[in-house]
Amino acid sequence: MKLDVDVLRYLSKDDFRVLTAVEMGMRNHEIVPSELVDRIARLRHGGTYKVLKNLLKHKLLHHDSSKYDGFRLTYLGYDFLAIKTLVNRGVFTAVGRQIGVGKESDIFEVAKEDGTILAMKLHRLGRISFRAVKSKRDYLVHRSSYNWLYLSRLAALKEYAFMKALEEHGFPVPSAVDCNRHCVIMSLVQGYPLVQVKQLQNPDMVFEIIIGLIVRLAEHGLIHCDFNEFNLMIDDNENVTMIDFPQMVSVSHRNAQMYFDRDVDCVFKFFSKRFNLFFEEITDECDESDSDMNENGRPCFSSIAKSAGSLDKELSASGFTRKDQDDIEKEELSMMGGNKEDDMEENRHSSEAVECNGPETSEADEKVDDQDLNESDDELMKRLNKQRRRAIAAAHGGRRALASRNSYKDKGGKTSHNSKIQKQLSGW
């Protein structure tokens, strides 16, 4: 679907309010009922249904009446919500031409107020060219139900986190600017995709730089998993930039060696075919030496030492488990010395506290939680008493106190008979 931002000029606050209402309803509905959209949007005088017709005209929503009358967001509607939010933040002020398209994303130029050009990447999972996301990617983790918009949002958040961390550690990647929903804003790379380059002045040097990036990523605990000529940018000075990071995994992943060897194979095959570089026949087994290269000059996954950092731990990359974290802590303690058992016990308790209270929980928060135990008991008693009163009220009324399904149809300040019964029950 073509992104036509001119429609944004004619959308009012009510239009975006209804779009947001549909987005909120899609958290637990595949198709959001019309009544639910109306209740969430809370527009006066039945204005929701008029706005829905306008959004349908611009294809920002899709109407489905197979089982019941409802709506769902299209990718174009999701694009408008993300663009509107980023424009309000002042990230950019204009959207330009489309500069790239892939199997799971579209890339556009955007301009800031001062004229700086950035790149906007819109993730669009679910295209016919790439629908095996559940088996090829691990965005869902333990979840079983999903929709394509939610998967696109997870992919964007993951890519933004990886890009930000790699930039801080000095990797040649675009600068991450901002992220909202399925949209990632980054700096525009002044170069060309390597797949479009037919000739290089120093192909040997470029090849060594690219292979060095694969090894350096592995030393930091990460594997790109899609490291090929389509995801490498090169400028006129033959400087290389990596792009596309949602599929990155940890070196502790069960298929880490396969992914690492596949990335290396892609680079070797491309340079041998495109630039006629000669490589000796590749052997399956690596040399058991201390170097990172085997006798053919090929990187060996088993000999790469994970010593430059643990980005997979910081970013919770796929494949990094609790056991790997304990092993790293043991190695750090052995290097620092001291009483290992006491330190390991303290780390174990602190990690359990992080799992229970979230990643930002501190020791001060734990002390506050201990002091608030008595208050939580009082709140629990209040909740129990409140539930008991509701049960008594429901028993007197002969049924549960539920709102009327037709209460949204009341007009002129009049209340329905069911709503009057509800008020009587609430007064018990």
Judge contact between 109 and 97, C-beta under 8 A.
Answer: yes
Tell me how far apart the alpha carbons of residues 185 and 89 are, in angstroms, rounded to a whole number.
Answer: 12
Residues 226 and 254 in one domain: yes
Mean pLDDT along residues 107-113: 95
Q: What is the pLDDT of residue 305?
A: 73
Let me know if residue 19 belongs to a domain: yes
Q: What is the pTM of this model?
A: 0.69
SS3 249: strand
Q: Of the candidates 33, 58, 79, which is a domain's last residue? A: 79
Q: Of the candidates 187, 217, 246, which is a domain's last residue? A: 187
pLDDT at 405 over 60: no
Mean pLDDT along residues 124-147: 61
Let me know if residue 87 belongs to a domain: no
pLDDT at 415 over 80: no
Domain that holds residue 257: 193-312
Phi-psi region of 361 (alpha: psi -120 to 50; beta: other; left: phi over 0): beta
Residues 203 and 296 in one domain: yes
Residues 16 and 67 in one domain: yes
Let me know if residue 334 belongs to a domain: yes
Mean pLDDT along residues 408-416: 45
Residues 16 and 62 in one domain: yes
Residues 6+ apart with CB under 8 A from 99: 107, 108, 109, 119
Mean pLDDT along residues 317-332: 52
Residues 104 and 182 in one domain: yes
Residues 123 and 181 in one domain: yes
Which string of DSSP letters, residue by residue, matches 282-314?
PPSSPP-SSSSB-TTS-B-GGG----S--HHHH
Where helices occur in 28-132 by DSSP H, the ranges are 34-41, 47-57, 75-89
Structure tokens that stand for 344 in this block: 């390991």
pLDDT at 70 over 90: yes
The tens digit of pLDDT for each residue in 273-316 reads 999 888 765 445 555 444 455 555 688 888 887 665 578 777 76
CATH of the domain at 303: 1.10.510.10
Residues 28 and 108 in one domain: no
| CB burial readout 245-278, b (16+ within 10 A) else e | bbbbbbbbbeebeebbbbbbebbbebbeebeeee
Let me know if residue 84 belongs to a domain: no
Tell me how far apart the alpha carbons of residues 169 and 314 are, in angstroms, rounded to a whole number.
Answer: 12
pLDDT at 399 over 50: no
Q: Of the candidates 50, 79, 108, which is a domain's last residue? A: 79
Mean pLDDT along residues 356-365: 42
Beta strands in 196-300 (DSSP E): 222-223, 232-234, 240-242, 249-250
Calculate what percentage of the chain has a pLDDT beyond 90: 45
Structure tokens that stand for 261 in this block: 């060897």
SS3 213: helix
Let me know if residue 85 belongs to a domain: no
Judge contact between 267 and 226, C-beta under 8 A.
Answer: no
Residue 193 β-bridge partners: 233
Residues 291 and 336 in one domain: no
Residues 70 and 47 in one domain: yes
Q: What is the pLDDT of residue 422?
A: 56
Let me know if residue 151 belongs to a domain: yes
Let me know if residue 39 belongs to a domain: yes
The tens digit of pLDDT for each residue in 229-258 reads 999 999 999 999 999 988 888 888 888 899
CATH of the domain at 110: 3.30.200.20
The secondary structure element, H or E, covering residue 71 is strand 70-73
Residue 32 β-bridge partners: 71
pLDDT at 360 over 60: no
Q: How many CB atoms lie within 10 A of CB 11?
A: 17
Tell me how far apart the alpha carbons of residues 401 and 379 are, in angstroms, rounded to a whole number.
Answer: 23
CATH of the domain at 41: 1.10.10.10
Judge contact between 182 and 82, C-beta under 8 A.
Answer: yes
Let me know if residue 265 belongs to a domain: yes
Residues 272 and 351 in one domain: no
Residues 6+ apart with CB under 8 A from 192: 233, 234, 235
Q: How many CB atoms lie within 10 A of CB 307?
A: 10
pLDDT at 394 over 80: no
Residues 249 and 229 in one domain: yes
Residues 179 and 127 in one domain: yes
Mean per-residue pLDDT of the chain: 77
* Tally of structural domains, the chain: 5
327 is catalytic: no
Q: What is the pLDDT of residue 407?
A: 41
Calculate what percentage of the chain has a pLDDT beyond 70: 64
Q: What is the pLDDT of residue 314?
A: 75
Q: Which residue is listed with tokens 């958040």?
A: 157
Q: Which of 64, 226, 265, 287 is catalytic?
A: 226
Residue 123 β-bridge partners: 105
